[in-house]
Amino acid sequence: MKRTGIIAEKLGMSSMFTEQGRLLPVTLLKVDSCQVVAQRTMDANGYSAVVLGATNVKPTRVSKAMRTVFANNKVEPKRHLKEFRVSEDGLVDIGSELRVDHFSVGQHVDVSGISIGKGFAGAMKRHNFRGLEATHGVSLTHRSHGSTGGRQDPGRVFKNKKMAGHMGHEKVTKQNLEVVGVDLENAILFIKGSVPGPKGSVVYVADAVKKS
């Protein structure tokens, strides 16, 4: 059965000790008012999915059309929405709230988010180029990427050539991250290692697709 994921907020990183005395780096994810807002069914839409919403907001903070959707489904307006594909037997009733105990300790998950933006970065930082020589006639261009193509043939720079440019602020998914703690009282999920995005950003947590 393919289950739905959840919407969470990245609080930041910390560390915790295991029972064996190992110090683990962990990321804290907060799950706030994560509810099922709508469903997609095979009969009506041709596929199965659930639409989740997270973080309650005032009705004036959402569009008039979405206000109607929330009202018809008797769910408070949400700031964040995300659709998760599920199997037909994995559908969840509209209005149901998903909490951190949706996942268990020891389980592996995939976490998606928008990575931290770095702005315009050079080839060394963006693509890990080694740069040019420190001597042998190289002057003022030690961090440049060097030649980008041929001369008369092909007479152009190929697409997707690794060059300086915008770095970060793109969707990133980290796979097979282990859940090392579940705090039901404070609605916090402890994930081993780092997850994409800055503090306060929204991430999506789902069952790992490469591990049972």
Q: What is the pLDDT of residues 3-27, one digit of tens each?
A: 999 999 999 999 999 889 999 999 9
Report the percent of the chain where pLDDT is more than 90. 95
Give the model's pLDDT for residue 212. Answer: 79
Contacts of 70 (CB under 8 A, 6+ apart): 37, 53, 59, 62, 76, 77, 78
User: Which pLDDT band, with edges at 50, 70 and 90, does 200 fall under?
Assistant: very high
Residue type, 200: G
Q: Is the pLDDT of residue 211 over 90?
A: no
**pTM score:** 0.90
Give the three-state DSSP class for 206. Answer: strand
Q: What is the location of CATH 2.40.30.10 in the chain?
A: 6-117+171-207
- Phi/psi-derived region of residue 126, left when phi > 0, alpha when psi is between -120 and 50, beta in every other case: alpha
Contacts of 58 (CB under 8 A, 6+ apart): 77
Work out the average pLDDT over 112-136. Answer: 96
The token pair at 178 is 């282990």
Architecture field, domain 6-117+171-207? Beta Barrel (2.40)
Among 34, 113, 11, smallest CA distance to 80 is for 34
Give the model's pLDDT for residue 61. Answer: 93
Work out the average pLDDT over 192-205. Answer: 96
